[in-house]
Amino acid sequence: MGRYLRRRLIQLVPLLFGISVVIFGVIQAAPGGPEGSLLAAGRFVDPSVIESYRHRLGVDQPVWRQYLNWLGASARGDLGQSFSTSRPVTAMIGERLPATLELMGVAFVFAALVALPFGLFSALRRYTFADVLGTGASFLGVAMPVFWFGLLLQLIFSVRLGWLPVSGTGTVGASSLGDHLRHLILPGLVLSTRYIAGWSRYFRSSLIGVSHAGFVRTARAKGLTESRVVGVHTVRNALVPVISVMALNVADLFSGAVITETVFAWPGIGRLFVQGMFARDYPLLMGILLMGAATVILFNLVADLLYGALDPRIRYE
């Protein structure tokens, strides 16, 4: 296990290098360059002002030099200074991170709490009307555009029924824990929809696959009760691949959060990214992309390790 982990960590080095080159290259390819945001308003700017601006940002240096500067600083945890606010990017990300983690956490837990029992129910009642209905619902969940689902829920629950707030994290002047939680319901639900659909189907087919296994027949044959056969022998084995997929999906929850946060004005990283995009704040965009990529890599590793930890047949050498 230790050796496997060490090898995986060593493999990460070229991967991270490749990612940093791509991210740096994409931002370098930006039309207009960073001083574009100065000129964006279409006003006349003295060329010497632009020159000193470029110098202050360090973009007057050769490209390879800029890359090495950026890489060296990033490796030390310094993601540079935001163009739009002149504040450290790490501080800006740090401020927004709790909101995103809260939203992603709520969506993840909620999706798991709904998807797993639902998948089990479908597998036990497979090919019944309820199961077919569940399959239909999961197709609907996967095909649902996140932003439209968000708008619909706002329309129904906030505008028409008035039960829940439209957007934001709290009512101004009347914020309390309960109020905050009420703001969390719709975005959390929207973000979790796709995973409820995906995980419940995946758990269902995993359960059905395992239920044909020899050890399940053995468990039945030696006279165990049905609840023991299902609860101990089937469910535990069927959960292994599902848990690993859930870990993998943590990373793409982040992409979903970009849209969800935009629809619900949720002040997290996703919204910060969209704002940074319109402000051409390249250090900020690079920092967020780099952080997103690191999250993907981390949870890929977690998924593999979980698989090994949960399934004793898998040995990492």
For residue 301, state whether it binds other proteins (rule: CB under 8 A): no
3-state secondary structure 295-310: HHHHHHHHHHHHHHHH
| Burial grade of 295 (CB within 10 A; 0-12, 13-18, 19 or more) | middle
For residue 73, state whether it binds other proteins (rule: CB under 8 A): no
Q: Which helix (H) or strand (E) holds 16?
A: helix 2-28
Burial readout 82-106 (b: 16 or more C-beta within 10 A, e: otherwise):
bbbeeebbbebbeebeebbebbbeb
Stretch of 93-101, 175-183, 233-241, 288-296 lying at the interface with other proteins (CB under 8 A)? 288-296
Please report how close the Cβ of residue 130 comes to other proteins at its closest, in angstroms. Answer: 17
Do the beta carbons of residue 170 and residue 216 sit within 8 Å?
A: no
For residue 99, state whether it binds other proteins (rule: CB under 8 A): no
Do the beta carbons of residue 35 and residue 50 sit within 8 Å?
A: yes
Choose which of 259, 283, 303, 304 interacts with other proteins (CB under 8 A).
Answer: 259
Do the beta carbons of residue 216 and residue 230 sit within 8 Å?
A: no
Stretch of 114-122, 180-188, 205-213, 294-302 lying at the interface with other proteins (CB under 8 A)? 294-302
Do the beta carbons of residue 85 and residue 92 sit within 8 Å?
A: yes
Pattern 234-253, other proteins, x by CB under 8 A: -----------------xx-
Q: Under rule CB under 8 A, how many of the chain's residues touch other proteins? A: 45
For residue 91, state whether it binds other proteins (rule: CB under 8 A): no
Bridge partners of 81, per DSSP, are 88
Choose which of 2, 3, 13, 31 interacts with other proteins (CB under 8 A).
Answer: 31
CA angle 203, 206, 210 (to 5 degrees): 135
Choose which of 10, 13, 29, 174 interacts with other proteins (CB under 8 A).
Answer: 29
For residue 297, state whether it binds other proteins (rule: CB under 8 A): yes
Q: Where are the alpha helices (DSSP H) in 29-88?
A: 36-39, 47-57, 63-75
Please report how close the Cβ of residue 10 comes to other proteins at its closest, in angstroms. Answer: 13
Please report how close the Cβ of residue 233 comes to other proteins at its closest, in angstroms. Answer: 26
Q: Within positions 112 to 151, which residues make up the interface with other proteins, using CB under 8 A?
A: 139-140, 142-149, 151
CB count, 10 Å around CB of 180? 15
**44 or 127, CB closer to other proteins?**
127
Choose which of 108, 110, 199, 273 interacts with other proteins (CB under 8 A).
Answer: 273
Which residue ranges make up the site for other proteins (CB under 8 A)?
14-15, 18-19, 22-23, 26-27, 29-31, 139-140, 142-149, 151-152, 154-155, 159, 251-252, 254-255, 258-259, 262, 273-274, 277, 285, 288-289, 292-293, 295-297, 300
